Amino acid sequence: MNERVRKFANAEAPAFRSYQDIIATDSTPIAPLLALKSNPPQPTDDIPLSQFTSQAFFDLEMERMWPRVWQFVCREEHIPEVGDYWVHDIGDWSIIVIRTEDGIRGYYNSCLHRGTRLKPSGTSGWSAELQCPFHGWSWTLDGTLNEVPCAWEFKHLDYEANRLPQVKVEAWNSFVFINMDEDARPLLDYLEVLPEHFAKRDLTNWYTYVHIRKELACNWKVALEAFMEAYHTPVVHPELTTVVSDWNLQHDIFGDNVSRDLSAMGVTSPTARPKTEQELLDSMFLGDPTTSKAGGRLLVPEGKTARIVVAEAMRKNFAEKFGMDLSNLSDAEIIDSLKYNVFPNVMVNAGLTTAQMTVFWPMGNDPNRCVMENYRLRPFQPEGGRPDPAEPFRLREEDSFALVPGLDPFVASVYDQDTGIMRWQQEGMRGSRKGKATLSSYQESRIRRIHETLAKYMGE
């Protein structure tokens, strides 16, 4: 067994410094939203592994869950001009999300003549109209059937009934979502506490500086759930234990759809040897090299902590670099990872240096494959104008995240460790004699909530 975790095996719970203990010694009052704790008791029954491996279960998710949830598609910055579109694929469905004079619309990506895809799956671009590549039927951007070649042969065609069918499209914080359910409740309702919790994190004026699409040989929930707990951190990422909390993360559940974990930076894991504040500061991982460590080595003065020094440095750097006033943010809101999950497949981080969205997609109709998509966000200097969002950088399963331009090498190595284990988990699940997962009561509680919410869609 890994030596770091051995001494904790089968032990009674040690007195870990909780997230609340840690932020209580910051220089700023605790932000009310970070003071909240919510982790209602849950059942402890096992989760069948067939939920990750079975084609029948996957097909039922496609039938009953995906068409009824809000699905993240892209950022508004990806389709800034009228005619800009982004093709969103899920299983057999494909939706063209396109900006029109009347806002962003979503159309089923299937021709109403004989069914051909109007735009190839997985593409984006600009289009003055939507014309089928087969016989050339075309629709205006508002979905009106406009031109039918040899129209004299289609006297029986009802043009009005052949408008392009739509899905619902709504945006929050510049994140564009679709819902295929005509009766779906509004996105802002579905997002539960999220809009309130992001009130201080307006990401509309941020841009995507790194965009990654990584293929993985596992079910989409295997990948998703690996990022919903830090129980694995001391084993999989031993080097992280010197600068970030793990077993003592705070896990909150706010409803069927939204949960979060709060992870303190600038502290050691309960499994690691304690460090001095200066050692912590020297090894602190801040995520974004443009906003940290500028001006040489920082020192921790008597009576302060590494966390406080870094938060102060960030306030100064953000004011200088981006003209942003961070005086209304607590130290924790500036330096910590504040990671929210939205059912089913979205993870969005409200931390200042960790602001990003990650989404986990099934690949085609294969329960054993998925795509992890990561959008890393940054503010920009207003004078320079909005930079173009980064093009998606594609990684095959065997490719290292180190290939991604602009991605911090330390983050890349952590991602490689996380994703490296996923194939093993999927293979082990498929060959499991037990056939079930046994989750911990607290550290994996948010994973359990995913399965509880999923069960509500799946029915009997």
**Interacting residues with ligand FES (CB under 6 A):** 111, 113-114, 116, 132, 134-137
For the bound state, the minimum distance from the C-beta of residue 107 to ligand FES, rounded and expressed in Å, comes to: 13
Cβ neighbours of residue 279 closer than 8 Å, sequence gap 6 or more: none
Residue 425: alpha-carbon gap to chain centroid: 21
Amino acid at 54: S
252, 341 contact by CB (below 8 A): no
Terminal-to-terminal C-alpha distance of the chain: 40
From the list ligand FES, Fe ion, none, pick the one residue 114 interacts with, judged by a Cβ distance below 5 to 8 Å according to partner type: ligand FES
From the list ligand FES, Fe ion, none, pick the one residue 7 interacts with, judged by a Cβ distance below 5 to 8 Å according to partner type: none
For the bound state, the minimum distance from the C-beta of residue 411 to Fe ion, rounded and expressed in Å, comes to: 11
Which two structure tokens, joined as six digits, stand for 232? 């694995």
d(CA 426, CA 368): 7
From the list Fe ion, ligand FES, none, pick the one residue 254 interacts with, judged by a Cβ distance below 5 to 8 Å according to partner type: none
For the bound state, the minimum distance from the C-beta of residue 93 to ligand FES, rounded and expressed in Å, comes to: 17
For the bound state, the minimum distance from the C-beta of residue 129 to ligand FES, rounded and expressed in Å, comes to: 13
From the list ligand FES, Fe ion, none, pick the one residue 135 interacts with, judged by a Cβ distance below 5 to 8 Å according to partner type: ligand FES
Residue 79: alpha-carbon gap to chain centroid: 19
Closer residue to ligand FES (CB): 114 or 273 = 114
For the bound state, the minimum distance from the C-beta of residue 137 to ligand FES, rounded and expressed in Å, comes to: 4
For the bound state, the minimum distance from the C-beta of residue 450 to ligand FES, rounded and expressed in Å, comes to: 39
Closer residue to ligand FES (CB): 28 or 116 = 116
Which one, of 344, 340, 256, lies nearest residue 69 by Cα? Answer: 344
378, 407 contact by CB (below 8 A): no
Which one, of 362, 396, 434, 284, lies nearest residue 55 by Cα? Answer: 362
Closer residue to ligand FES (CB): 9 or 150 = 150
Closer residue to ligand FES (CB): 112 or 284 = 112
Closer residue to Fe ion (CB): 61 or 418 = 418
For the bound state, the minimum distance from the C-beta of residue 106 to ligand FES, rounded and expressed in Å, comes to: 19
For the bound state, the minimum distance from the C-beta of residue 197 to Fe ion, rounded and expressed in Å, comes to: 23
Number of amino acids touching Fe ion (CB under 5 A): 1
From the list Fe ion, ligand FES, none, pick the one residue 111 interacts with, judged by a Cβ distance below 5 to 8 Å according to partner type: ligand FES
Closer residue to Fe ion (CB): 77 or 225 = 225
For the bound state, the minimum distance from the C-beta of residue 158 to ligand FES, rounded and expressed in Å, comes to: 16
**Cis peptide bond prior to 344, omega within 30° of 0:** yes
From the list ligand FES, Fe ion, none, pick the one residue 225 interacts with, judged by a Cβ distance below 5 to 8 Å according to partner type: none
Residue 180: alpha-carbon gap to chain centroid: 20
Closer residue to ligand FES (CB): 113 or 200 = 113
d(CA 198, CA 352): 11
The sign of the dihedral angle between the CA atoms of 253, 180, 349, 29 is: negative
Closer residue to ligand FES (CB): 42 or 116 = 116
The backbone torsions φ and ψ at residue 194, rounded to the nearest 5 degrees and listed phi first, read: -55, -50
DSSP secondary structure letter of residue 228: S
Q: Nearest 5°: CA angle at 31, between 29 and 32?
A: 120
d(CA 54, CA 336): 37
Residue 336 makes contact with Fe ion by CB under 5 A: no
For the bound state, the minimum distance from the C-beta of residue 115 to ligand FES, rounded and expressed in Å, comes to: 6
Which one, of 100, 89, 83, 137, lies nearest residue 115 by Cα? Answer: 137
d(CA 39, CA 326): 30
Residue 246 makes contact with Fe ion by CB under 5 A: no
Residue 333 makes contact with Fe ion by CB under 5 A: no
From the list Fe ion, ligand FES, none, pick the one residue 28 interacts with, judged by a Cβ distance below 5 to 8 Å according to partner type: none
For the bound state, the minimum distance from the C-beta of residue 130 to ligand FES, rounded and expressed in Å, comes to: 10
Closer residue to ligand FES (CB): 164 or 267 = 164
Give residues 85-124 in contact with Fe ion (rule: CB under 5 A): none
Residue with the shortest CB distance to Fe ion? 418
**Crossing angle (nearest 10°) for helices 409-420 and 422-430:** 10
Site string for Fe ion, 414-443 (x = CB under 5 A): ----x-------------------------
Amino acid at 289: P
From the list ligand FES, Fe ion, none, pick the one residue 186 interacts with, judged by a Cβ distance below 5 to 8 Å according to partner type: none
The sign of the dihedral angle between the CA atoms of 152, 157, 158, 163 is: negative
CA atoms within 13 A on the CB side of 231: 15
From the list ligand FES, Fe ion, none, pick the one residue 418 interacts with, judged by a Cβ distance below 5 to 8 Å according to partner type: Fe ion
Residue 395: strand, helix, or coil: strand
Contacting positions for Fe ion (CB under 5 A) = 418
